[in-house]
Amino acid sequence: MTSYRPIEEGVATDLRGELTYASYLRLDELLSAQQPVSDHHDEMLFIVQHQVTELWLKQLIHELRSAIALLGADDGAPALKRLARVKAIQKQMFEQWSVLETLTPVEYLQFRDQLGRASGFQSPQYRTVEFLLGNKNPAMIEVFAHDDALHDQLAADLAGPSLYDAFLAHLARQGHDVPADVLERDFSQPYEAHPGVVEVFRRVYAAPDEFWEAYETCEELVDVEEGFQLWRFRHLKTVERIIGHKRGTGGSSGVGFLRRALDLTFFPELLEVRTEL
């Protein structure tokens, strides 16, 4: 056994003028983005946790936009690959909460007031993910009225088809009897469950061999919804553990606000059809 390992012959060591690991990833910018507003040791964890979450949200958006486009082009197989990656990202985001849970209530209170009214509720990427998955609420974009570019992008995502809208349109083009009023609805408004869509899914689930791609996509969407709900629940329990039932920094009721989000569903008929089978 030895504690010394020489550099292998052939490993590049003279990197002057080269694209390096640090320059490719812009580590100088990335690692200088953590700017605590207090001198408390644990604020660094709070910042890193949320910045990492924002990076994963960026990747989720990248995958969801691609999945929507692929379904719009009736290219189902790579869309399923995108959803598989979405699920893997969701697992990473879920497990992250265990790190933040090492922050005790007393530790958080020592820098919480320094955050002002800044809140995760104000995350434009989180709102984008919810819009892309189908939780449409026009009032939500009012939070971003102070930033024209963000407001316009969110307004576009609000008005565009969600992942579920794209899937239902894809099913219609494949010959499934998706109701016309579902396909032609105002995408900026919250989706309302339709018995005709339940019937479409009942037929798919009754004959998986005949409708295998649709059947598999349905189950992938159920997985994505469950993963998102588990993330929401873990968020709620982390907040409850750290601040109890205090109001959120952004003015929400805190735990109560997060608990009500658990009643929201992205793909209602995919749950309803289970009762009909």
CATH topology of domain 42-275: Methane Monooxygenase Hydroxylase; Chain G, domain 1 (1.20.58)
> Does 7 count as an annotated binding residue?
no
Task: Give me the residue label for tokens 């408390």.
Answer: 40
Q: Is 191 annotated as a binding residue?
A: no
**Residue 68 annotated as part of some ligand binding site:** no
The answer, yes or no, to whether residue 11 has pLDDT greater than 90, is: no
The identity of residue 82, as a single letter, is R
Per-residue confidence at 2, pLDDT binned at 50, 70, 90? confident
HSE-CB of 249 using CA atoms within 13 angstroms: 17
170 is in an annotated binding site: no
82 annotated ligand binder:
no
Cα separation of 146 and 172, whole Å?
Answer: 40
Phi/psi region, residue 232 (left: phi>0; alpha: psi -120 to 50; beta: rest), is alpha
Q: Residue 150's pLDDT band (boundaries 50, 70, 90)?
A: very high
Q: Please say whether the beta carbons of 151 and 145 come within 8 A.
A: yes
Query: Each residue of 195-233: pLDDT tens digit?
Result: 999 999 999 999 999 999 999 999 999 999 999 999 999
Q: Which amino acid is at 262?
A: L
pLDDT of residue 1: 76
Nearest to 192 by CA among 165, 160, 219, 166: 165
Q: Where are the domains of the chain?
A: 42-275
Of the listed ranges 60-64, 188-192, 255-259, the least confidently predicted one is: 255-259
Handedness of CA 140, 146, 150, 151 (dihedral sign): positive
Annotated binding residue at 229? no
φ/ψ bin of 116: left (φ > 0), alpha (ψ from -120 to 50), beta (otherwise) = left
Going by the DSSP 8-state scheme, the letter that residue 84 receives in this structure is H
Is 24 labelled a binding residue?
no
Distance CA 232, CA 220 (A): 18
Average pLDDT over residues 141-157: 95
Average confidence (pLDDT) over 87-108: 96
Structure tokens at 11: 């490993």
State what percent of residues in the chain have pLDDT above 70. Answer: 100
Residue from 235, 206, 221 nearest 269 by CA: 221
Extract the tokens encoding 171.
């099913």
